[in-house]
Amino acid sequence: DGGITQSPKYLFRKEGQNVTLSCEQNLNHDAMYWYRQDPGQGLRLIYYSQIVNDFQKGDIAEGYSVSREKKESFPLTVTSAQKNPTAFYLCASSATGGNGYTFGSGTRLTVV
Amino acid sequence: GENVEQHPSTLSVQEGDSAVIKCTYSDSASNYFPWYKQELGKGPQLIIDIRSNVGEKKDQRIAVTLNKTAKHFSLHITETQPEDSAVYFCAVDSGGGADGLTFGKGTHLIIQP
């Protein structure tokens, strides 16, 4: 079955540590997105990518980095520069010219 | 940029009654309006969407209406059931989806037995 897989489901980060969240899709979608979800804040866009080897900052990109070396993969690194990383992170993808998004099941990141 | 307001933030209805959630947007060029349902600990799932050339769309117990003049659209759920309890998000695409959908802040729908 086609879909998006996010891993891990739960992730714990120590102060000053970088962590990477995985997002893989087999839907042959060109566009991929990363959102952050906090209680009462809705979904806020971190980074997005329309094609391989190209990506753009969203509304809250500071403290995050991404890469898009393959069409299927769009990993998100939460760096030590992100001072409040505890949140639920969602990856999504969409087809070129299409508007409907398919979301992954999310990764819950907690700072310990 | 696009601004999306969603109301109410929490909605409690009796099982079997109807629920209505409303969103307003600011960019008159917006052309795509999806609704997502998110259950606890899961990613959002698309439940219905509408494009700017259509005023209403229905799928069994759920429907979406769009008023382009007033720049608002609404989700209607009839004959609510316990499994309808979830957080619902509206979203707006202002032009080709190049920078992603803009989401409302969500409505927590509670179905009272």
Q: Are B100 and A58 an interchain contact pair (Cβ–Cβ within 8 Å)? A: yes
pLDDT surpasses 70 at A110: yes
Look at residue A100 in the predicted model and tell me its pLDDT. Answer: 80
Stretch A86-91: mean pLDDT: 96
Q: What is the pLDDT of residue A42?
A: 84
What gap in Å lies between CA B74 and CA B34, rounded to an integer? 10
Pairwise CB contact (< 8 Å): A94 & B97 = yes
Which chain B residues contact residue A108 at CB under 8 A?
41
| Cα of A88 to nearest chain B Cα, Å | 9
Question: Residue A15: which pLDDT band, with cuts at 50, 70 and 90?
Answer: confident
Q: Give a three-class secondary structure readout of chain A.
A: CCCEEEECCEEEECCCCCEEEEEEECCCCCEEEEEEEECCCEEEEEEEEEECCEEEECCCCCCEEECCCECCECCEEECCCCCCCCEEEEEEEECCCCCCCEECCCEEEEEC
For B19-27, what is the mean pLDDT?
Answer: 96
User: Residues A85-111: what's their mean pLDDT?
Assistant: 89
Whole-number pLDDT of residue B94: 72
Residue of A33, A41, A105 lying closest to B100 (CB–CB):
A33
Confidence band for B99, pLDDT divided at 50, 70 and 90 = low
Kindly report, residue by residue over A26-52, the tens digit of the pLDDT: 999 999 999 999 987 789 999 999 999
Q: What is the pLDDT of residue B19?
A: 98
Contact yes or no for A99 and B93 at CB 8 A: yes
Contact between residue B21 and residue B105 where contact means Cβ atoms under 8 Å apart: no
B97/A90 CB distance under 8 A? no
pLDDT at A60 over 80: yes
Residue type present at position A82: Q
Query: Does A42 sit within 8 Å of B104, measured CB to CB?
Result: yes
Q: What residue in A sits closest to B92 (Cα-Cα)?
A: A99
Question: Exposed, middle or buried, A73 (CB in 10 Å: 0-12/13-18/19+)?
Answer: middle
The residue in chain B having the minimum alpha-carbon distance to the alpha carbon of residue A59 is B99
Q: Beta strand A107-111 with A10-13: parallel, antiparallel or unpaired?
A: parallel
Mean pLDDT, all residues of chain B: 92
Average pLDDT over residues A66-92: 95
- Please give the pLDDT value at position A16: 86
